[in-house]
Amino acid sequence: NAGVTQTPKFRVLKTGQSMTLLCAQDMNHEYMYWYRQDPGMGLRLIHYSVGEGTTAKGEVPDGYNVSRLKKQNFLLGLESAAPSQTSVYFCASKPLAGGPSVATQYFGPGTRLLVL
Amino acid sequence: DAKTTQPNSMESNEEEPVHLPCNHSTISGTDYIHWYRQLPSQGPEYVIHGLTSNVNNRMASLAIAEDRKSSTLILHRATLRDAAVYYCILAYNQGGKLIFGQGTELSVKP
């Protein structure tokens, strides 16, 4: 199993450009999450999904949209990138077993995004 | 929202035990205590979690205070590969969201 993979690994955007980050997991997990991590900070939750076709807002959702059309994929979109969105983006997934508070989240390797 | 408080940084010598403290005085009865760690330039990885009783696994031990207002992650013999940022997190019921603080940066000296 590849686990959680993220595409691309690194990207440079100009202000106002759009892009989509792809997260894929091959563990048949129900829950998926997008986080951002700024230098010297902990991760902050952007959006999450508790199942195919569902999404919900996290702590810092503004400027981002997400879609979960397939169970194994969770897309994060930036419609009009801003320098404040320069960050490292991590995707994670979690199985349903054990309930929401129990099971482990599995993280991808991250995508480094620089917005000029 | 229940929050956690951890020291910003700690140092340890290789081969010695490390005790990483975490305070969570506003924890609710249904919050699980999770520990994750983040190695340099990597995504976080799960270490251990517990509810009320102490827990052991191959990576670490988790000691939870009787009143659940604090916990301690114990690395029994620190290695250089254990140098990382360690996050103590209370897991919310809704959607299993994890709220990360700034964590404790552990450095291990040879």
> Do A14 and A104 contact (CB within 8 A), yes or no?
no
Comparing alpha-carbon positions, the chain A residue that sits nearest to B103 is A42
Confidence label for B30 from pLDDT (cuts 50, 70 and 90): confident
Confidence label for B55 from pLDDT (cuts 50, 70 and 90): very high
Strands (E), A40-81: 43-49, 56-57, 65-67, 73-78
The number of C-beta contacts closer than 8 angstroms across A and B is 67
At B99 the pLDDT is 80
Q: Tell me if chain B has a CB within 8 Å of the CB of A100.
A: yes
Tokens of B10: 């700690």
At B93 the pLDDT is 59
- pLDDT tens-place string over residues A49-106: 989 999 999 999 999 999 999 999 999 999 999 999 999 999 999 987 665 556 688 9
Tokens 């902050």 identify what position?
A44
* Helix (H/G/I), strand (E/B), else coil: B31: coil
Burial string for B9-31 (b: 16+ CB within 10 Å, else e) reads ebebeeeeebebebbbeebeeeb
Tokens of A9: 């690994």
Tokens of A52: 């195919």
The residue among A64, A110, A66 whose CA lies nearest residue A89 is A110
Confidence label for B77 from pLDDT (cuts 50, 70 and 90): very high
Chain B residues touching A110 at Cβ < 8 A:
41-43
Chain B residues touching A104 at Cβ < 8 A:
46, 49
Comparing alpha-carbon positions, the chain B residue that sits nearest to A42 is B102
Q: Mutation test of the interface with chain B: which of A5, A29, A43, choosing the one with the most B Cβ atoms within 10 A?
A: A43
- Nearest-Cα distance to chain A for B57, in Å, is 14
- The reply to whether residue A100 touches residue B93, judged by beta carbons under 8 angstroms, is yes
At B102 the pLDDT is 85
At B2 the pLDDT is 60
At A99 the pLDDT is 58
- pLDDT tens-place string over residues A21-48: 999 999 999 999 999 999 888 899 999 9
* Helix (H/G/I), strand (E/B), else coil: A33: strand
Tokens of A33: 């999450």
Comparing alpha-carbon positions, the chain B residue that sits nearest to A33 is B97
Cα separation of A106 and A91, whole Å?
Answer: 8
At A29 the pLDDT is 92
Q: What is the mean pLDDT of residues B63-75?
A: 96
Q: What is the mean pLDDT of residues B5-20?
A: 96
